[in-house]
Amino acid sequence: VTPAAPSRSGRDEVAILLAPHPGSSPRPVSRSASGGELSRVMLAIEVVIAAVDAVPTFVFDEVDAGIGGAAAIEVGRRLARLAQTSQVIAVTHLAQVAAFANNHLSVVKASDGAITASGVHQLTGAAREAEMARLLSGMPDSEAALTHARELLDLGAIAD
């Protein structure tokens, strides 16, 4: 926090510092963070804010960009925590994040060459598992991917 001349936005300039990797020096987020890092910093701030100030809805578009594995599972857990007090709408291409959602929607585009249309479908049961398997492996019918999808969905259900 740096004192500044009073203005409509306050008397201080605030810089959020981020050390994205062990051993790296903290640097201003505005100059050093990638888009995915900015999204995750924002998620962390919003989780803290939601704990003290009721915010009805949060929308995240690919907050999981550039991550996978354990980091994606942690982002999913944090979104689930945020969803305990607010509605959370998250666009993701990672099954590890999607697993923590209560409801899943699939957006599908179709084109006849001249016109492109989008449709939204709610996924439940086997369709939900198949979409999770597709996100994991590109193969919605793969038994290994379906097993992994079920495992992730079970992990997400435990977080509820």
Rounded distance between C-alpha atoms, residue 55 and residue 51, angstroms = 9
Predicted local confidence at residue 66, as pLDDT: 83
**Strand-strand pairing, 57-61 and 87-91:** parallel
3-state secondary structure of 87: strand
Q: Model confidence over 122-135: pLDDT tens digits?
A: 999 999 999 999 99
Query: Cβ contacts of residue 102 below 8 Å, gap of 6+?
Result: 83, 160
Tell me what pLDDT residue 160 has.
64
Domains of the chain listed by start with CATH number: 1-33 (no CATH), 34-159 (3.40.50.300)
- Dihedral pair phi/psi, residue 121, rounded to 5°: -130, 135
**For residue 78, what is the enclosing H or E element?**
helix 69-82
pLDDT-flagged residues of the chain (< 70): 159-160
Which two tokens mark 145? Answer: 């991917």
pTM: 0.76
* CB count in 10 Å sphere of residue 13: 12
